[in-house]
Amino acid sequence: MHPPFTLTEATASAMPSPDAPRPLTPTTERGLKRRDALMDAAQKLFLEQGYGQVSVNDIVAEAGGSLSTLYRHFGSKEGLFQAMIERRSHHLYEALSAEGVDGLSVEQALQRLGVTLLIKVIDGETLGIYREVVAESPRQPELGQLFYAAGPGRVRQALAAYLARQMRAGRLPQSDAVELAGIFLGSVLGELHLNQLLQLESPPSQAAIEQRVARCVSLFVGGLRYPEA
């Protein structure tokens, strides 16, 4: 059994040191645009040249501005990468907030998440980032930790919290929410994600994505509610 729901070890190990300078979140529209421009430039260069080949000077040259602005917003190149991944996964995380889904049935909420997740993870930019992380992680293990903490781990955390709320409300039987979140996400992604990473198949249609997720939701929820069926 897992301990009470919390951050995974991988997520925790990727968090900044308490002694590290804390990036500042911009409060003006201009500051937000500058922050987005730096993330856009970083993503473009990471995909074109590889994370390890890109310096903070390269990113500033691409985006404009100054090194001091980059460090003020992100603290480091690693902090910029983490913020970039968090931005890409933010809507998935928010889709499972109490305000977003607790008025829906479990099936509706999981269908919404599954479809949104699949569309996001098989888009060209996300696949490119994933390939880059896999290629760089043997040389820079912290990159994989940052990616997991800001993306997959964050989504799994949100889904586990959602499932735990449904268990407390009596809509699902009591079980290990963290483990179940991993099982559901794994079933939705499965071989479809791998085939897209390896470019073995054309991207699925919207209808095919919705049908796949509906099947996963049916098996997942049915298995929880009727384990002996």
In a domain, 172, yes or no: yes
In a domain, 118, yes or no: yes
SS3 50: coil
Decide if 13 contacts 145 (C-beta within 8 A): yes
User: Phi then psi for 87, rounded to 5 degrees?
Assistant: -65, -40
Which tokens sit at 28?
Answer: 């003006």
In a domain, 150, yes or no: yes
Amino acid at residue number 201:
E
- Cα 19 to Cα 38: distance, rounded to the nearest angstrom: 24
What pLDDT is recorded for position 178? 97
In a domain, 112, yes or no: yes
In a domain, 119, yes or no: yes
Domain range enclosing 167 = 88-225
In a domain, 2, yes or no: no
- Cα 51 to Cα 123: distance, rounded to the nearest angstrom: 19
Which tokens sit at 104?
Answer: 């829906």
- 148-183 in b/e form (b: 16+ CB < 10 A) is bbbbbbbbbbbbbbbbbbbbeeeebeeebbbebbbe
Nearest residue to 94 via CA among 158, 157, 189: 158
- Cα 100 to Cα 96: distance, rounded to the nearest angstrom: 6
What pLDDT is recorded for position 201? 94
- The count of structural domains within the chain is 1
What pLDDT is recorded for position 95? 67
In a domain, 26, yes or no: no
- Cα 177 to Cα 64: distance, rounded to the nearest angstrom: 44
Decide if 11 contacts 49 (C-beta within 8 A): no
Q: Supply the CATH number for residue 180's domain.
A: 1.10.357.10
What pLDDT is recorded for position 225? 84
What pLDDT is recorded for position 29? 85
Residues of the chain with pLDDT under 70: 1-27, 93, 95, 97-100, 227-229
In a domain, 31, yes or no: no
